[in-house]
């Protein structure tokens, strides 16, 4: 309700503070310190109203900004992360559009699906880290020692990922931890693409196994663990 005429210095200052609400609190208070003195003084020893003297708060705030060299609706006080802030600004501007808001709501509903995929992607990363490989007969099962243990790890990872998803939704990480969390999500989303492509491949029939096609899903190329049927055949001997 900035249209309501603020007759009191307190109300006028509040309106200014609102108009500058996108600035960091420190910067804003600093900017308003002089103004506060001037407005309080004007209110006490002047018969003309604050509006007549200073004009509407919104316009006053805009003038203050432009004279101070602060871009409209932006907070340029952290130059070390200027690019990041620019991205944030674009994202926040996009976020205010109704279509994006609806899409976000839909994505929020679908988030648990992503959490499951994320758990799976984490397994893929772990598999590569320990130098393991995928089950050839069931390409979606990572072999951590045995297929049974691999399947168990996938289930545990999925549960952990979903739990983490719900936890982050209710007690969202803040500040730098939030950036780290987002980076982790992006990383796993990138890993998830080849992992899912691999997992959704048709299982290889033992008759088809030759040594020529190692299932590469990630670089560096994995060593191929051949199914028991193939293991007995010697390299280069082809299908039995």
Partner 1 sequence: MLRRLRAAGLSDVGDASVYGTLRRLYRGGALTTYVMPSDEGPHRRYYGITARGVAVLDDARAVWTDFSHNLNALLATPLEVPSP
Please answer whether residues 204 and 180 qualify as being in contact, where contact means their C-beta atoms are separated by less than 8 angstroms: no
Q: Which of 11, 14, 40, 218 binds partner 1 (CB under 8 A)?
A: 40
How many amino acids of this chain bind partner 1 (CB under 8 A)?
22
Q: Name the residue nearer to partner 1 (CB basis): 29 or 207.
A: 29
Q: Determine the interface stretch with partner 1 among 37-45, 166-174, 177-185, 204-212 (rule: CB under 8 A).
A: 37-45
Q: Name the residue nearer to partner 1 (CB basis): 10 or 173.
A: 10
Instruction: Report the alpha-carbon distance of residue 22 to residue 58 in Å, rounded.
Output: 13
Residue 58: C-alpha distances to residues 28, 93, 154, 161 (Å): 14, 20, 56, 46
Cβ density class 165-187: b for 16+ within 10 Å, e for less: beebeeeeeeeeeeeeeeeebee
Q: Which of 69, 98, 131, 175 binds partner 1 (CB under 8 A)?
A: 69
Q: Could you say whether residue 67 binds partner 1 (CB under 8 A)?
A: yes
Q: Could you say whether residue 29 binds partner 1 (CB under 8 A)?
A: no
Could you list the residues that contact partner 1 (CB under 8 A)? 30-31, 33-38, 40-41, 53-55, 60-61, 63-69
């Amino acid at each position: 309700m900035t249209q309501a005429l603020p007759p009191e210095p307190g109300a006028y200052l509040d309106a200014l503070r609102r108009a500058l609400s996108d600035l960091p609190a420190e910067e804003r208070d600093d900017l308003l310190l002089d103004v506060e003195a001037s407005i309080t003084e004007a209110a006490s020893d002047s018969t003309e109203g604050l509006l007549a003297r200073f004009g509407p708060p919104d316009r006053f705030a805009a003038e203050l900004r432009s004279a101070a060299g602060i871009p409209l609706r932006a907070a340029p006080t952290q130059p070390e992360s200027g690019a990041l802030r620019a991205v944030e600004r674009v994202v926040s501007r996009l976020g205010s559009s109704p279509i994006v808001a609806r899409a976000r709501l839909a994505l929020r509903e679908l988030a648990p699906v992503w959490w499951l995929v994320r758990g799976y992607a984490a397994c893929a990363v772990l598999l590569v880290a320990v130098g393991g490989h995928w089950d050839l007969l069931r390409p979606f099962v990572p072999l951590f020692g045995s297929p049974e243990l691999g399947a168990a790890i996938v289930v545990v990872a999925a549960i952990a990922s979903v739990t983490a998803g719900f936890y982050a939704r209710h007690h969202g990480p803040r500040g730098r931890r939030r950036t780290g969390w987002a980076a982790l999500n992006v990383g796993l989303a990138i890993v998830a693409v080849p992992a899912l492509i691999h997992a959704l491949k048709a299982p290889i029939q033992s008759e088809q196994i030759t040594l020529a096609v190692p299932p590469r899903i990630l670089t560096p190329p994995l060593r191929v663990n051949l199914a028991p049927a193939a293991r007995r055949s010697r390299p280069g001997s082809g299908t039995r």
